[in-house]
Amino acid sequence: MPVSKLTPQEIVDSIGELPPMPTAISDVINACDDQDMTVGQLSQIVLKDQSLTANILKLANSAFYGHARRVTTVTEAVVLLGFSAIKSLAISSHTARLLNRSLPGYGLPAGQLWHQSMCVAFTARRIAVEVQLAPVEEAFVAGLLHDIGKVILSSHLEAAFNEVQQLAMDRQMPFHHIEAEILGFDHAELGARIAAKWSFPPELEEAIRCHHDPEQATLKPLLPHVVHLADSACMMLGQGIGSDGLAYEVCPSTLEALEFTPERMMELMDDIAPMLAADSFGIE
Ligand SMILES: [Fe+2]
């Protein structure tokens, strides 16, 4: 099947073409990790970058954060949301441009992967709060980045889009298994390598690598289960139904690991459904 003239290693190497983390974003990330940082100092660092400031305020006012009061200044956002949420929002601001692209290899129009990724991020954060998996913002970032490998794999799958779709339907195989069969690895593995390139912690890399097979995780097993459940819930509600939605399988051990009964799963889906439909997550 003429999917790509590149070898798997060359596809992995093409991660190098991704834009590096801009200094303004990495300054905010480092400041959020600094124990001696004050609210005023962090706000000043955020304010140095206009689009980052606008994006943080926009996302801080997203329905998913559930603040009755409108957040109008960066200082308010830092106080109300906390340093780790500001860090997540800075990472979101950077990745939005990548995730916002159209992905013809997955049948996703522009904006859809970004919207779906934000839905999974907020849902993963909500599940992490419920199962008391700290830090909850780690679940947010894992949810946000879980499918980032698709940004690179899309162009390699595009040439044989119809054949790949047919293969997925004929064999009733999850889409990431088709990727692995054709390319030698799947979008989850590639996403983990992108996380490593951006120097994210190994637990986060693992959660991205194992988001379709959470049972494989050893470092922090509950984190990929949380991302997998969030991804499944959003998928069931119709978010992100591109090729990856074909023959999507919910890992049977996830509900058990997180002690989620089917009733609790229904409650989760009832809670997130209106927010998924309402929020566009448009950023600058
Ligand atoms: Fe995925």
pLDDT score recorded for residue 53: 92
Q: Is the pTM of this model over 0.85?
A: yes
Q: Enter the tokens of residue 180.
A: 């692995």
Residue 131's DSSP bridge partners are: none
Q: Which CATH architecture has domain 8-278?
A: Orthogonal Bundle (1.10)
Q: In the chain, where are the structural domains located? A: 8-278
Please tell me the least confidently modeled range out of 9-18, 149-158, 177-186, 249-258: 9-18
- Cα-to-centroid distance, 40 and ligand 1 (Å): 38
Q: Enter the tokens of residue 79.
A: 């106080």
Please tell me the least confidently modeled range out of 110-114, 128-132, 224-228: 110-114
Average pLDDT, integer, range 218-245 = 85
- Cα-to-centroid distance, 147 and ligand 1 (Å): 5
pLDDT score recorded for residue 1: 46
- Cα-to-centroid distance, 211 and ligand 1 (Å): 7
Q: Where do runs of H (alpha helix) occur along the chain?
A: 8-13, 23-33, 39-47, 50-60, 74-81, 83-99, 112-130, 136-145, 149-158, 161-171, 175-183, 187-197, 202-209, 222-236, 252-257, 262-278
Per-residue pLDDT reduced to its tens digit, 167-214? 877 887 778 888 888 778 889 998 998 888 888 899 999 999 999 999
The answer to whether 136 and 144 have CB atoms below 8 angstroms apart is no
Where does the pLDDT of residue 215 fall: very low under 50, low under 70, confident under 90, or very high at 90 and above? very high
- CA nearest to 117, candidates 136, 101, 134, 128: 101
- Cα-to-centroid distance, 268 and ligand 1 (Å): 20
The answer to whether 53 and 32 have CB atoms below 8 angstroms apart is no
- Cα-to-centroid distance, 46 and ligand 1 (Å): 31
